[in-house]
Amino acid sequence: MPVLVQRLCTMAKDEHINGFEIERLCTEMGLGDKAGALILELKGAGIMSPKLDSFPEVQRAGAPIYEINRSVLLSFSQVQTG
């Protein structure tokens, strides 16, 4: 799980990642069709939350957009630079 969260943080652009990117990451990591369950776990743990104020962005992306918790992003950026 820590490696997966680290990869999510790396993939995030301006603290955001969409559902398709999460699905692709799950496939790359051999988790198959577990993206939905993973998203639920990450939301429940407070690692990310749905970005509700971005309907036009969701339409452009064609998938839900999630915001990565800034504390999580900072933790992983410190590990990479530290």
Across 62-80, b (16+ Cβ under 10 Å) vs e yields eebbbbbbeebbeebeeee
CATH of the domain at 66: 1.10.10.10
Instruction: Report CA-CA distances (Å) from 2 to 42, 53, 55, 61.
Output: 11, 28, 30, 26
- Give me the pLDDT at residue 1, please: 85
- pLDDT tens for each residue of 39-65: 999 999 999 999 876 666 666 767 889
Domain, as residue range, for 25 = 2-81
pLDDT in tens, 2-37: 899 999 999 999 899 999 999 999 999 999 888 999
Structural domains of the chain, count:
1
Q: Which helix (H) or strand (E) holds 50?
A: strand 48-50
Assess contact for 72 and 15: CB atoms under 8 A.
no
What's the pTM value of the predicted model, to 2 decimals?
A: 0.80
